[in-house]
Amino acid sequence: MKPGRWAQSHYLQFLAGRLGRVLDSSWRSWCPSTPSPRGPADISRPRIGAVQFRLSPVESADVWHSRLAAIFQRAVEAHLDILVFPEDMPMPLLGVVRRWLPPSRSPPHPAQVKAFLTVLSPIAYRHWRMVMQSLAGHFGILTVAGSGMTAQGGILYNQAVVISAGGEIIAEQPKMHLFAFEQDWGVEPGPLTRQDAGSWPLYAVVCNDATYYETFRMVRHLGADLVAVPIADPEPQYSENKARRGTWARVQETPVCGIVGAGTGLLFGFALAGKAGIYLPAELTADGSGVLAESLDAYGEGLVTATVDLEALHDFQGTRLHLPPGPWHNLYQSAP
């Protein structure tokens, strides 16, 4: 190994050790203990929440934990059954090691980013997944925890995690359609996985996946009525017209309910803007907009909620022309 690579490898291992110790100690002193009691859910009318979350790096994991717990507390007070978070949820935790990074006046080379993420992102990913499992189980809410970057066998993936109301992992769904900068970092796309959310026919996909109509056709053929889409759009200036080309448009083409958790803030040089929202076919909304609930601001943090009438959605699906014959779910080499 060349001296430069040897030094980089040891430096990354130093950062990994620091990150792991900080996250572990902060969680041991904070994690909830006793579960929160919940009443029975109305299976035909789930109460759904879409989260808008600032993804700016944090120097203290305790701050990140507290903000998550506050959102779950609001979700319980709103009697929510399903909660959807944004893309890149563990990334702010990498800010914990920022104090040990050397100053730089220029952006890092993509190869450096890949090396950094390959070593550090699995640590943040495991911590985020553990925290979300604890909170989902504690508060009794089916949770799409957003998505996170992780490495498996040295290959980077950006994948969503779906967690049951009992705190069990239901599915981990890799992003299928990557941004160019993700490809530069060495992130690889993954296949559509089978997802069984129990009481509700819910599937999760990630951000740019909603740009392509095939994604929603595939999950609808697999039985989805609810499609969760964690996003973190690198858009310094929010554009409603551009945003409408994603989940809102897919819902008009393929009659399902789309639930968008949106990331905002400044994340390692990327300015993020987006609105959390819950979308239906326009005919099923009172004002014909197709928007059941949506954040008023594209740059803050918050929670929007709505009740979705699945029986009305099923009736509407029955009036529409049937989707073209499949097998759509195999289009992207779906896992069996």
**Residue-wise pLDDT tens digits, 215-238:** 999 999 999 999 999 999 998 888
Distance CA 292, CA 48 (A): 11
Q: Give 3-state DSSP helix, strand, coil % of the chain, rounded to 5.
A: 40, 20, 40
- Domains of the chain by start residue, with CATH: 3-35+45-330 (3.60.110.10)
pLDDT at 3 over 50: no
pLDDT of 105 reads 67
pLDDT value of residue 8: 67
* CA gap 171, 169 in Å, rounded: 6
The phi, psi pair for 56, rounded to 5°, reads -60, 145
Instruction: Identify residue 303 by its one-letter amino acid code.
Output: L
In this prediction, residue 108 carries a pLDDT of 80
pLDDT at 331: 58
Q: What is the pLDDT of residue 12?
A: 87
3-28 and 110-139 are packed helices; what angle lies between their axes, rounded to 10 degrees?
Answer: 10
Q: What is the mean pLDDT of the chain?
A: 89
Can you give the pTM of this predicted structure? 0.92
DSSP string, 222-277: TT-SEEEEEE----SS--HHHHTTTHHHHHHHS-SEEEEEEEEEEETTEEE----E
Residue 334's pLDDT band, with cuts at 50, 70 and 90, is very low
Percent of the chain at pLDDT > 90 equals 68
Residue 157 and residue 149 in contact, taking contact as beta carbons nearer than 8 Å: yes
121 within 8 A of 96, measured Cβ to Cβ: no
Instruction: Supply the pLDDT for residue 110.
Output: 87
Q: Are 258 and 84 in contact (CB under 8 A)?
A: no
Query: Which tops the pLDDT comparison, 299 or 37?
Result: 299
Of 14-23, 97-106, 220-229, 286-295, the range with the lowest mean pLDDT is 97-106
Instruction: Tell me the average pLDDT across 50-67.
Output: 94
Assign 326 a pLDDT band (cuts: 50, 70, 90): low
The pLDDT-based confidence of 42 (bands split at 50, 70, 90) is: confident
Tell me how far apart the terminal alpha carbons of the chain are, to the nearest angstrom: 40
Give the model confidence (pLDDT) of 111-152 as tens digits: 888 999 999 999 999 999 999 999 999 999 999 999 999 999
Tell which residue, 76, 88, 87, has the closest CA to residue 38: 76
Higher pLDDT, 4 or 150: 150
